[in-house]
Amino acid sequence: MTTTPLDLRALAVGERVQDTFLVWEVETKSQTDGSRYAILQLSNATGRLPTAPFWSSEMHKVDGLSRGDVVRVTADVSEYRGTRQLRVVAIEAVPRASADLARLVPSVGDVAPWWKKLDEWRAEMREGPWRRTVAVFYDDPDFRRAYERCPASLGNHHAALGGLLKHTVEVGAIAKTIARTCGADWDLVLAGVLLHDIGKLEAYRWDGVFEMTEPGSLLGHVSQGALMLDARLDEVEPALTQRESWLLQHLILSHHGELEFGSPVRPMIVEAEVLHAADHASATTTNMADAVRDAANFEEGEPVSKRIWSLERKVYRGPVTT
């Protein structure tokens, strides 16, 4: 049975922590005198915290530890330049098989509400090529099991178990409003919403830390998604016309909007533009909301944050109502 994980966001400076964590990252650096030190990023389902540096005299404590290991830690919560960190007193590796990974990896929680909304939209689709193609994937139990676990990114927006499903529903909700506004074909837009990120199932690995797979590194999730669609088009009955196949491929291949952001082509139909706009809005607004909620981004009592790398700017957490 999964127990509630320690809430890393609520830890106060000076608090003593004794718990199990996943090693999300190990960063080793050298000082000017040639000596080494290491900083670990420790995670559980509520987030991540860095350790204070393990200096050369303490490096033996973390020698042999690597990304994805499970460790039992005793530490005190301290602060350095406005950022909380764990000053580790004791750390030891524990067998991965003995750990409850559901406590150690970020998760969106119950995915049932997201499936309910997504399947309601599918039920409303008109009979035709878009509905039939979507069904090839979303009527497949193995696909659904993978999709409801996959993160939407490795460390950016919706980087959590179930993040891809939640992101997909957000994209759909935003896209539906835009499609009504501009008169786009909602069924084709929805097909794009449901298919645009299927490549992440092949591009990402999430059995512990989130990592890129070999094909994900070589091809990227956009191209991988187009290949996955192409591989299963023969299962659609009656078969799609060549133009119908092209349109669905175009939605996947153009959803990042620009070549420099990973799309081989830019959107050329209004439905592709709607999909791109909704996908971008879900990602960026989630990053903004996460940044405002994360106390680690702010000096104590300050309403304006430090510069946040994922947004390339500062954010404001003061009241927005008078």
Same domain, 91 and 117: no
Position 156: which residue type?
A: N
Q: 2 falls in which pLDDT band (50, 70, 90)?
A: low
Please state, in angstroms and as integers, the Cα–Cα distance from residue 310 to each residue in 154, 277, 281, following that order: 13, 18, 14
**Parent domain of 93:** 8-103
Q: Is residue 310 part of a domain?
A: no
- The DSSP symbol for 272 reads H
Q: Is residue 217 part of a domain?
A: yes
- In tens, the pLDDT along 39-53 reads 999 999 888 899 999
Same domain, 36 and 130: no
Q: Is the pLDDT of residue 82 over 80?
A: no
Number of compact structural domains in the chain: 2
Mean pLDDT value across residues 125-143 = 98
Residue 120: phi, psi to the nearest 5? -65, -45
Same domain, 167 and 62: no
User: pLDDT higher for 119 or 104?
Assistant: 119
Enumerate the β-bridge partners of residue 37. 29
- In tens, the pLDDT along 152-181 reads 999 889 999 999 999 999 999 999 999 999
Q: Is residue 311 part of a domain?
A: no
Same domain, 111 and 70: no
Same domain, 197 and 274: yes
Q: Percent helix, strand, coil in the chain (nearest 5)?
A: 45, 20, 35
User: pLDDT higher for 245 or 10?
Assistant: 245
Same domain, 93 and 178: no
Q: 219 falls in which pLDDT band (50, 70, 90)?
A: very high
Q: What's the CATH code of the domain at 79?
A: 2.40.50.140
The answer to whether residues 203 and 151 touch, using CB atoms and an 8 Å cutoff, is no
Q: What is the pLDDT, as a whole number, of residue 257? A: 92
Q: 264 falls in which pLDDT band (50, 70, 90)?
A: very high
Q: Is the pLDDT of residue 228 over 80?
A: yes
Same domain, 219 and 245: yes
Judged by average pLDDT, the poorest of 31-40, 168-177, 248-257, 302-311 is 302-311
Q: Is the pLDDT of residue 322 over 70?
A: no
Same domain, 121 and 270: yes
Among 206, 216, 252, 260, which Cα is nearest to 232's? 252
Average pLDDT, the chain: 93
Among the ranges 36-50, 111-125, 308-322, which has the highest mean pLDDT value? 111-125
Same domain, 39 and 127: no
Alpha-carbon distance of 140 to 235, in angstroms, equals: 12
26-35 LR contacts (CB < 8 Å, sep 24+): 26/62, 26/65, 26/66, 26/67, 31/56
Same domain, 111 and 99: no
Q: Is residue 319 part of a domain?
A: no
Q: What's the CATH code of the domain at 205?
A: 1.10.3210
Alpha-carbon distance of 201 to 221, in angstroms, equals: 8
Q: Of 80, 103, 126, which residue constitutes the final position of a domain? A: 103
Q: Is the pLDDT of residue 9 over 90?
A: no
